[in-house]
Amino acid sequence: MDFRSCSGDPLIPWSTPEEAFEAWKLRGAGRPCDYTGIQWPFGDERLYTDGVFNTDPDRCESYGHDLATGAELTKEEYAARRPGGRAFLHAVAYEPSPETPTGEYPLLLTTGRSVHQFHSRTKTARAPQLNAAAPEPWVEVNAADAAAAGIRDGDLVAVTSPRGTVRAPARIRGIRPGVVFIPFHQGYFDAPGAFDRAANELTVTSWDPVSKQPLFKVTAVRLDKVT
Amino acid sequence: MHLGHYLGLLHRSQTCLADAFREVASAHGDEPDIRALCTRLAAQCDAHASQLAPFAARYAAEAPDEPDRLHSTLFTGTRGGGLGLLRDLHDLYLMAAECDVSWTVVGQAARGVRDEDLLRVVLRCEGETAVQLKWLRTRIRQAAPQALVVA
């Protein structure tokens, strides 16, 4: 499209992976997260060797939070700890997950990625090779849990949480007993009405109060063979 | 000795705050973080109240008749919508502040009567109340521009 900067130079000056990498490095130069020490194709073992962290109150990106609630600390509270380039190690009292296995939903569902797809596939679904490598979700299950439910490798199974049901073939693998896994890439934007293949329909709508990371790893579910 | 009255006041304030957290959690359930955190903080307030209960009962026996206007009502129900959420969090903040300063009062009295057991409860709980205030202020800061300017 030949986008140009105000001075008439190409807006995107890079064309090779190394050039893109060098341009990306410059974005953070002099900022708290400075990657300019990384060399292409590999650099020093350690980026920061002086042991000085970016915790100075005038330089840090935040004054920190209470880990359990996400409550923000004030600059005064933070400065009173005299950060001075030292790192902090924070601890928080144990809290059970919002959802823990019960009699009705005895297994723990953890959702995640397959190597061929990215998030909800708005890009990777358009790359035929990638999409064909992992077109549908599956349910990874331990041999003992599968045997208890009368499930053999490849059987169609239903995974049900308090919010919905996903149906997909079982893959019996070495996953931890008591845990099942479903990749979360498949939804229904390219499969209208296929609500029973979206792992995201099963998870709680909740997130970590500080990082805002969604709670995709702690869903209580039931596993049934579809007959 | 009036310590029993203040223990009763704080016990009731914690119980009212627990109920108010639960009401706000339920009324604003479409804000998932509000529901999760208010439910958790309600349980924390219940735990504060139950730790205070034996002390309130013990010191009540030594207290004269309850004075007039000891208790005040800070919460009269939830409201709907974005501005309603802001006002509800504002109410919770004032109620938590009532508890916060009451912990200070009771803590000073506990030192005065050298009640180490009561002082341990105060020191354990007042920090949690302080974090509740901090979280409410954080969430109010987050809600205020949307409720006052955008909506």
The predicted-structure confidence for A129-173, as pLDDT tens digits, reads as follows 999 999 999 999 999 999 999 999 999 999 999 999 999 999 999
What single-letter DSSP state applies at residue B150?
I
By the CB < 8 Å criterion, does B44 face chain A? no
pLDDT at A63 over 90: yes
Q: How far is A69 from chain B (nearest CA, A)?
A: 6
In chain B, the percentage of residues whose pLDDT exceeds 70 is 100
Instruction: Name the residue with higher pLDDT: A11 or B108.
Output: B108
pLDDT at A42 over 80: no
pLDDT at A22 over 80: yes
Residue B28, pLDDT score: 95
Residue B71, pLDDT score: 82
**Residue bearing tokens 């900067």:** A5
d(CA A177, CA A201): 23
Residue B62, pLDDT score: 82
Q: Which of the residues A63, A66, A69 would you substitute to probe the B interface, choosing the one with the greatest number of B C-beta atoms within 10 Å? A: A69
Output the pTM of the full model: 0.83
The residue-averaged pLDDT of B94-108 equals 98
Helices B81-112 and B3-27 sit at what angle, rounded to 10 degrees?
160
Two structure tokens written together for A97: 């997950």
Q: Closest to B134 (Cβ–Cβ): which among A66, A204, A207?
A: A66
**Band of pLDDT at residue A212, cut at 50, 70 and 90:** very high
**Which chain A residues are Cβ-neighbours of B134 within 8 angstroms?**
66, 69, 71-73
**Which chain B residues are Cβ-neighbours of A71 within 8 angstroms?**
131, 134-135, 137-138
Q: Is the confidence metric ipTM above 0.90 for this complex? A: no
Tell me how far the alpha carbon of residue B83 is from its chain's centroid: 22
In chain A, the percentage of residues whose pLDDT exceeds 70 is 99
Residue A227, pLDDT score: 87
User: Could A69 and B37 be called an inter-chain contact, meaning their C-beta atoms sit closer than 8 Å?
Assistant: yes
For chain B, give the mean pLDDT.
Answer: 94
User: Could A68 and B131 be called an inter-chain contact, meaning their C-beta atoms sit closer than 8 Å?
Assistant: yes
- For chain A, helix, strand, coil in percent to 5 are 15, 20, 65
Give the torsion through C-alpha atoms of B18, B19, B22, B26, to 10 deg. Answer: -170
**Residue bearing tokens 């007959």:** A227
The residue-averaged pLDDT of B104-121 equals 98
**Which chain B residues are Cβ-neighbours of A205 within 8 angstroms?**
32
A13: three-class secondary structure by DSSP: coil
d(CA B36, CA B40): 6
In chain A, the percentage of residues whose pLDDT exceeds 90 is 73
Residue A170 vs residues A161, A187, B94: alpha-carbon distances, Å:
17, 18, 53
Residue A34, pLDDT score: 81
pLDDT at B23 over 70: yes
Q: How many CB atoms lie within 10 A of CB B53?
A: 14
**Which chain A residues are Cβ-neighbours of B137 within 8 angstroms?**
71-72
**Which chain B residues are Cβ-neighbours of A206 within 8 angstroms?**
32-33, 36
Instruction: Spell out the residues 6+ positions from residue A163 whose beta carbon is closer than 8 angstroms to its own.
Output: A201, A202, A203, A204
The predicted-structure confidence for B35-71, as pLDDT tens digits, reads as follows 989 999 999 999 999 999 999 999 988 888 888 888 8
Q: Closest to B32 (Cβ–Cβ): which among A66, A69, A205?
A: A205
The residue-averaged pLDDT of B137-149 equals 96
d(CA B71, CA B89): 21
Residue B100, pLDDT score: 98
Instruction: Spell out the residues 6+ positions from residue A176 whose beta carbon is closer than 8 angstroms to its own.
Output: A142
Residue A43, pLDDT score: 66
Q: How far is A24 from chain B (nearest CA, A)?
A: 31
Closest to A69 (Cα-Cα) out of B45, B139, B99: B139
**Which chain A residues are Cβ-neighbours of B37 within 8 angstroms?**
69-70, 209
Most confident by average pLDDT, A29-43, A74-88, B61-75, B90-104? B90-104
